[in-house]
Amino acid sequence: MAALSGGGAPWRRGWLPALQFVRRGSKAVTRHWKAMHFQRQKLMAVTEYLAPRPAIPPCCLTPKKEKVEEDNGYTRLLRRQVEEVFRDNRMIAICQYNSMPGEDVVLMRHYLRKHNIEVKFVLNEIVRPVLSQSKYKNLLPLFVARNILLVSPELKAKEMLRVLKGVPQVNLLGACIDDTILSRRGVENFAKLPSLEVSQGQTVGALALLPSQTSSLLQRGPAHLTALLDEHIRRLQAGETGSPPEPAPAHSSGGH
């Protein structure tokens, strides 16, 4: 009794048996996964619901308009600079730019600056919206990769091609010269043309040659007629005096 009342181990004090709820009549889980019968698989595959195809293919539908993000101040500044480049320069060449060392870039810029040609690094997302709303929208197919612009207020196509020949990382795609869009072949042909002063001299010479030839043709008939009349008068005078006629002086075809 002493052991039950106060003595004994501490863990025995106030000990009560644990309560356990036992469910009578429960059965063990005996269901396991079983593969579907082959006939039923075929039936399920045949009776599977297939949604009808749309009458218009999705690729032909009008795409949803994307939300136009508001341009920040820096983007508007860059676009304004692009507009100034196309407005203030007579020659604008579009080139494909491949990665090259920084020293080569500095050297290329130095040689181009000698001929008053500047290098402009631009982003397609800045240039394309500007060109799409201007008269230069036919240049849009050229802006598909990383591009640079070679701009100059003067027509320096020959000097530009000479510099680019030593820079294989920069490929000329096309150019806009005096508001005329040219391909690479067109720029090369334009570079072979003589300078403006030489062309003007050749034009003036060609225009002056035609009037001189016309004047010579108009004067040839009267000069020939005058020579024949002089010869006839000389013969008449010689017949009256009885002396042999003197030989007529030679007349030039371009007489006065």
Q: Does an H or E element contain 118, and which?
A: strand 118-121
Strand order in the sheet with 180-183: 118-121, 147-152, 91-97, 170-177, 180-183
Helix (H, G, I), strand (E, B) or coil at 117: coil
Determine the pLDDT at residue 255.
44
For residues 196 and 202, give the distance between their C-alpha atoms in angstroms, rounded to a whole number.
10
Q: Is the pLDDT of residue 253 over 70?
A: no
Helix (H, G, I), strand (E, B) or coil at 176: strand
Determine the pLDDT at residue 160.
93
68-83: pLDDT as tens digits: 455 688 888 999 999 9
Is residue 102 within 8 Å of 132, Cβ to Cβ?
no
Determine the pLDDT at residue 214.
79
59-70: pLDDT as tens digits: 777 666 554 455
Amino acid at residue number 27: K
Dihedral of the alpha carbons of 77, 78, 82, 88, in degrees to the nearest 10: 50
For residues 169 and 113, give the distance between their C-alpha atoms in angstroms, rounded to a whole number.
18
Determine the pLDDT at residue 238.
79
For 36, residues 6+ apart whose C-beta sits below 8 A from its C-beta are 44
Helix (H, G, I), strand (E, B) or coil at 219: helix
DSSP letter for 151, please: E
Determine the pLDDT at residue 4.
46
- Taking alpha carbons only, the member of 162, 178, 57 closest to residue 111 is 162
Q: Is the pLDDT of residue 57 over 60?
A: yes
Q: Does an H or E element contain 73, and which?
A: helix 73-88
172-218: pLDDT as tens digits: 999 999 889 999 999 999 888 877 777 777 787 777 777 777 777 77
Determine the pLDDT at residue 70.
55
Determine the pLDDT at residue 243.
57
Determine the pLDDT at residue 127.
92
Q: Which residue has the higher pLDDT, 219 or 75?
A: 75
Quick one: CA dihedral 143, 80, 71, 67, positive or negative? Answer: negative
Determine the pLDDT at residue 247.
57
Q: Is the pLDDT of residue 241 over 80?
A: no
99-158: pLDDT as tens digits: 888 899 999 999 999 999 999 998 898 999 999 888 888 999 899 888 999 999 998 899
For residues 93 and 6, give the distance between their C-alpha atoms in angstroms, rounded to a whole number.
107
Q: Are strands 170-177 and 180-183 parallel, antiparallel or unpaired?
A: antiparallel
Determine the pLDDT at residue 199.
73
Q: How far is CA 155 from CA 16, 94, 165, 190, 247, in A?
A: 107, 15, 18, 10, 64
Strand-pairing partners, residue 97, are 170
The whole-angstrom distance between residue 183's C-alpha and the CA centroid of its chain comes to 9
